[in-house]
């Protein structure tokens, strides 16, 4: 994998350079990262052999913004295993156990333990999701991991690094059928994405002396943007912890201390920062490139940002986890953000084409293409399209296929996004054709929340909608038909349901409001009338 080769070269050339720094002051140099990841890789080799795990079984890495998390990711890649990153603050413990259950027998690096209890004590729950019993997992807690990277003899360097079509990582995203689904990204996808991403705005920003800002938790593919580019380029990745992001004053202080030169975030996070007048070029004097992905970048956001950072470039990029972070990009100009047209997402990267499908044959995956300017489903064809969903052939078959690209059959993914290509080949994204929504940059399948509600004995039927209050403010609302007589006020009953959901759903998937109804409104053809609810 070219990525690993680049990191080893940086470690040999400048071992004392900071590879990863964290807003709480921790950091790790390239030399330390290389050494720690080699030791972890060799530990994975030994454990895989001892426990008779399969040679490419996924490895769960659980924790938060921590240099040791990154060392574990690299250790997995170096030993030929894909890593499954799970952020302790975005993924409730029960959901993490569900993911472990899906992954099955594996090594689990518990870089941090949840206050709700170690994952090691929840293997029965994991087993109920399809995983094995506790002996099926090899847990490595923080203490053991620290001992391993400081004292273990690294003379045996793993020779099994992932490459080509091997899996590099599996990121679990919200799944419409009620459980998260794992997107399997290969080593080639990763390398292909990274090489292109480094070229976005490169005329402006130097890369090897760059400090890439990391906002997103490692369990979201947005974080792959800055993690992969920083380490590939021999630059520094600066991670903002949840604690630094949760408090407005702390956030501004941490941003000021970060020295960030390249900003990577969702537009929602930039909007949050823009609300503070201190956020500008004085706070981040070296920041000259803003990379956005994950949701629509609004014209007004780009305009306000440009005003605060007059000499910075702003890039809008588009892509789903299923095609390795992003596949199109554009540098947003003042002409673009002052026009009435919503910002477009630019042109595809080399090695990728966007097809707009008027129709897709479900059996053959053949696409009837739309004309320029005509709306249809966005289909991505190219060298960063993932292998599919982990152990979900049914879902993979529905969304992934192959299409011809320059005379060759190449992997393709139907995104569920609606959009069009203009005459200049720019992609315009106009929303979803299904029940997936984005809230503050988080990808949410409404169906997963509905399914989680419907599993509660108190609930007979449920529908969840995204209610848009204004351009910049939306929230989730659950409409519920109760299965039992309600004894408390609707407010209290709603709170009780939300508490139950919190066990398995991330905080951003918990509806703000629960409305009890005698029945859900129906359209004439018998479907839930979501428009009426929203
Ligand atoms: P995720 O897998 O979390 O990265 O979410 C992917 C989805 O986010 C896409 O399928 C789109 O619906 C949305 N998305 C990503 N980038 C953009 C963008 N630049 N503009 C509009 N929507 C976007």
pLDDT tens per residue, range 404-419: 999 999 999 999 999 9
Q: Residue 244, class by beta-carbon neighbours within 10 Å (0-12 exposed, 13-18 middle, 19+ buried)?
A: buried
Q: Ligand 1 site: residues with CB under 6 angstroms?
A: 173, 221, 293-297, 316-318, 320-321, 345, 415, 417, 429, 438, 443
Ligand 1 mean position, distance from CA 340 (Å): 21
306/356 same-domain check: no
The rounded Å distance from CA 445 to ligand 1 centre is: 13
Same domain, 242 and 336: yes
Q: In which band, very low, low, confident or very high, does the pLDDT at 385 lie, cut at 50, 70 and 90?
A: very high
Global pTM reads: 0.94
- Are 44 and 176 part of one and the same domain? yes
Residue 448: pLDDT above 70? yes
Is 466 inside a domain boundary?
Answer: yes
Same domain, 31 and 179: yes
Buried b (16+ CB within 10 A) or exposed e, 206-235: ebeebbbbbbbbbbbbbbbbbbbbbbbbbb
**pLDDT tier, 248 (very low <50, low <70, confident <90, very high otherwise):** very high
Same structural domain, 358 and 387 = yes
> In this model, does residue 302 exceed pLDDT 60?
yes
pLDDT grade, residue 110 (50/70/90)?
Answer: very high
> For ligand 1, what atom is nearest to the CA of residue 328?
19
The answer to whether 403 and 367 are in contact (CB under 8 A) is: yes
* pLDDT for residue 327 is more than 90: yes
Count other C-beta atoms under 10 Å from residue 363's C-beta.
8
Domain-terminating residue out of 375, 409, 430: 430
Give the CA count within 13 Å in the CB-facing half-sphere of 52.
Answer: 2
Extended strands (E) in 440-495: 442-445, 459-470, 473-482
User: How far is Cα 51 from Cα 158, in angstroms, rounded to an integer?
Assistant: 17
Domain at 377, CATH number = 2.30.38.10
In a shared domain, residues 219 and 336: yes
Say if residue 129's pLDDT is above 70.
no
Longest dimension (CA), the chain: 70
Q: How confident is the model at residue 132 (pLDDT cuts 50, 70, 90)?
A: low
Contact 466, 478 (CB under 8 A): no
- Same domain flag for 374 and 498: no
Q: Which residues contact 143 (CB under 8 A, 6 or more apart)?
A: none
Distance 486 CA to ligand 1 centre (A): 39
Residue 240 domain-assigned?
Answer: yes
Ligand 1, atom 8, lies closest to the CA of: 294
Which of 219, 294, 433 is the pocket-test mutation for ligand 1 (most atoms within 8 Å of CB)? 294
pLDDT at 116: 78
Instruction: Please check whether residues 300 and 176 belong to one and the same domain.
Output: no
Q: Which helix (H) or strand (E) holds 426?
A: none
Among 302, 319, 343, residue at a domain's last position: 343
Question: Once rounded to an integer, what is the mean pLDDT over residues 89-113?
Answer: 93
How far is ligand 1, taken at its centre, from the CA of residue 248, in Å? Answer: 26
H/E stretch holding 85:
strand 83-87
| Ligand 1: nearest atom to the Cα of 325 | 4
pLDDT of 158 reads: 77
Q: What is the pLDDT of residues 18-62, one digit of tens each?
A: 999 999 999 999 999 999 999 999 999 999 999 888 889 999 999
Q: Is residue 193 part of a domain?
A: no
Q: Can you give the CATH number for the domain in which 100 is found?
A: 3.40.50.12780
Tell me, what's the pLDDT at 524? 80
Residue 413 domain boundaries? 351-430
Q: Are residues 459 and 419 in the same domain?
A: no
Residues 493 and 449 in one domain: yes
Q: Is 88 helix (H, G, I), strand (E, B) or coil?
A: coil
pLDDT computed for residue 315 by the predictor = 98
* Residue 110 falls inside a structural domain: yes
More confident residue, 293 or 132: 293
pLDDT at site 472? 78
514 is a domain residue: yes
Q: How far is the CA of 294 from the centre of ligand 1 (A)?
A: 4
- Is residue 192 assigned to a domain? no
Do 382 and 496 belong together in one domain? no
Average pLDDT of the residues in 97-110: 94
Average pLDDT of 494-509? 95
User: Do the domain assignments include residue 139?
Assistant: yes
- Residue 145, CA atoms < 13 Å, CB-side half-sphere: 28
Question: Ligand 1 test: best mutation among 171, 219, 384, 438, most atoms within 8 Å of CB?
Answer: 438
Sign of the C-alpha dihedral computed for residues 276, 280, 283 and 286 taken in this order: positive
In the numeric block, which tokens belong to residue 98? 């569900």
Average pLDDT over residues 177-195: 95
pLDDT the model gives residue 126: 65
Write the CATH number for 450: 3.30.300.30
Is residue 12 domain-resident? no
| pLDDT tens per residue, range 502-511 | 999 999 999 9
Q: What per-residue confidence (pLDDT) applies to 205?
A: 72
Q: Is the pLDDT of residue 11 over 60?
A: yes
- Rounded Cα–Cα distance for residues 204 and 206 (Å): 7
**323 pLDDT exceeds 70?**
yes
Q: What is the mean pLDDT of the chain?
A: 93
What is the CA(431)–ligand 1 centre distance, in A?
9
Choosing from 388, 414, 430, the residue where a domain stops is 430
What is the rounded CA–CA span in Å between residue 306 and residue 314? Answer: 8
391 and 523 in a single domain? The answer is no
What per-residue confidence (pLDDT) applies to 523? 83
The residue-averaged pLDDT of 362-368 equals: 92
Q: Band of the pLDDT at 470, cuts 50, 70, 90?
A: confident
Query: Using alpha carbons only, what angle is made at residue 111 by residues 113 and 140, rounded to the nearest 5 degrees?
Result: 95
Distance 427 CA to ligand 1 centre (A): 12
Domains in the chain, number: 4
**Per-residue burial over 416-454, b = 16 or more CB atoms within 10 Å of its CB, e = otherwise:** bbbbbbeeeebbbbeeeeebbbbbbbbbbbbbbbbbbbe
pLDDT at 196: 96
Which atom of ligand 1 is least distant from the CA of 322? Answer: 2
């Amino acid at each position: 994998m070219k990525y690993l080769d680049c990191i080893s070269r940086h470690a040999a050339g400048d071992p004392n350079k900071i590879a990863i720094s964290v807003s709480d002051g921790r950091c790790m140099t390239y030399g330390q990262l290389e050494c720690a990841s080699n030791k972890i890789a060799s530990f994975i080799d030994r454990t895989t052999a001892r426990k008779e795990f399969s040679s490419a079984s996924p490895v769960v890495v659980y924790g938060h913004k921590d240099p040791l998390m990154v060392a574990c990711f690299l250790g997995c890649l170096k030993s030929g295993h894909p890593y499954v990153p799970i952020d302790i603050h975005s993924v409730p413990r029960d959901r993490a156990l569900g993911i472990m259950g899906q992954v099955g027998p594996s090594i689990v690096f518990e870089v941090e333990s949840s206050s709700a209890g170690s994952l090691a004590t929840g293997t029965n729950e994991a087993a109920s999701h399809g995983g094995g019993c506790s002996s099926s997992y090899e847990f490595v807690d923080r203490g053991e991991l620290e001992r391993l990277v400081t004292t273990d003899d690294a003379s045996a360097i793993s020779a099994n690094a992932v490459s080509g079509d091997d899996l590099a990582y599996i990121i679990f995203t919200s799944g419409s059928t009620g459980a998260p689904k794992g997107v399997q990204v290969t080593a080639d996808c990763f390398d292909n994405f990274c090489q292109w991403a480094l070229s976005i705005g490169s005329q402006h920003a130097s890369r090897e002396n760059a400090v890439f800002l990391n906002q997103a938790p490692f369990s979201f593919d947005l974080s792959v943007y800055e993690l992969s580019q920083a380490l590939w380029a021999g630059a520094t990745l600066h991670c903002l912890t949840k604690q630094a992001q949760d408090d407005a004053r702390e956030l501004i202080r941490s941003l000021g201390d970060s020295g960030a030169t390249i900003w990577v975030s969702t537009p929602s996070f930039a909007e949050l920062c823009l609300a503070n007048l201190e956020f500008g070029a004085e706070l981040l004097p070296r920041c000259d490139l803003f990379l956005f992905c994950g949701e629509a970048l609004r014209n007004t956001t780009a305009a306000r940002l440009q005003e605060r950072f007059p000499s910075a470039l702003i890039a809008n990029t588009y892509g789903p986890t299923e095609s390795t972070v992003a596949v199109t990009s554009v540098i947003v100009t003042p002409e673009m953000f002052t026009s009435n047209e919503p910002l477009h997402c630019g042109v595809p990267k080399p090695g990728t084409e966007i097809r707009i499908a008027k129709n897709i044959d479900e059996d053959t995956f053949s696409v009837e293409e739309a004309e320029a300017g005509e709306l249809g489903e966005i289909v991505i064809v190219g060298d960063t399209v993932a292998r599919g969903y982990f152990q979900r052939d049914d879902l993979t078959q529905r969304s992934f296929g192959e299409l011809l690209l320059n005379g060759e059959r190449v992997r393709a993914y139907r995104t569920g996004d609606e959009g069009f290509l203009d005459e200049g080949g720019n992609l315009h994204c106009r929303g979803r054709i299904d029940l997936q929504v984005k809230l503050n940059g988080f990808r949410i399948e409404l169906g997963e929340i509905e399914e989680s509600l419907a599993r509660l004995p108190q609930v007979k039927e449920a529908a969840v909608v995204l209610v848009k209050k204004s351009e910049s403010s939306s929230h989730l609302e659950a409409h519920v038909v109760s299965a039992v007589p309600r004894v408390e006020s609707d407010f209290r009953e709603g709170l009780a349901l939300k508490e139950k959901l919190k066990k398995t759903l991330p905080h951003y998937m918990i509806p703000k409001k629960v409305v009890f109804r005698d029945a859900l409104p129906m359209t004439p053809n018998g479907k839930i009338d979501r428009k009426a609810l929203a």
